[in-house]
Amino acid sequence: METNTVEAVRNNVLGTLVVAQCAAKHGADKFVLISTDKAVNPSSVMGATKRIAERIVLGWPPLRKFGTDFRAVRFGNVLGSDGSVIPLFRRQLAHGGPLTVTHPDVTRYFMTIPEAVQLVLQAGALPEAAGRICMLDMGEPVRIVDLAENLIRLSGLEPHRDVAITFSGMRPGEKLHEELMSDLEATIPTAVDKIRIVETDETDGTMLEGALDHLAAAVAVGGSYDLVRAICALVPECVSSLRERGTKATFAER
């Protein structure tokens, strides 16, 4: 998504808007958006577009005219799912290594597949989750290099001796450490152990409508310079590395 900003916005933002409109128009009882911890103080296009999707389903005024109950869940990294680091490490281990980690200090929050499924089901069922974001209490973040070393040991080998671990460098938009909530948010417990509600302010519906119109216009034009600026206008808590991308036009846009 970092190199395909237009398609990221078209899918995560405008796609969410269309599906939410259809759900409301046709009388769906509930709508659960799958979001991510990367939506918190986002540094990436992926995280920022998911944060906008949250704002749409929880605060876009036209959706309030209907009876659909909108809510969202924020996922951490799901262990063993397609695209997660464990299958990658296993493939690399099967070839004798090396296992690749972006940075020695990088950490992530993890949840299991059963926890992820339960989170979605509970988020759809809990009365207190209506119009809010649900989040799993995922405990302490895990160092990815520790995960790699433990996987090597579980295979009967010694890390750094039998199998190398190399550091490939941080990718565009990637953080060293993910967060579960921003300084503008707070969490409260629910009736279900380990599931919490994120309290966030989505009351500025008029601003949201105008900014979404500007975002859609930027998608139509297709220039990443104006598009990143439009994204940042909708996500004022995005970090400086993403915001700076909206101040630097590409050669073709100058």
Residues serving a catalytic function are 38
DSSP character string of the chain = -TT-HHHHHIIIIIIHHHHHHHHHHTT-SEEEEEEEGGGSS--SHHHHHHHHHHHHHHH-GGGGGS--EEEEEEE-EETTSTTSHHHHHHHHHHTT--EEES-TT-EE-EE-HHHHHHHHHHHHH-GGGTTSEEEE---S-EEHHHHHHHHHHHTT--BTTTB-EEE--PPTT--SB--SS-TT-EEEE-SSTTEEEEE-----HHHHHHHHHHHHHHHHHT-HHHHHHHHHHH-TT--HHHHHHTS---GGG-
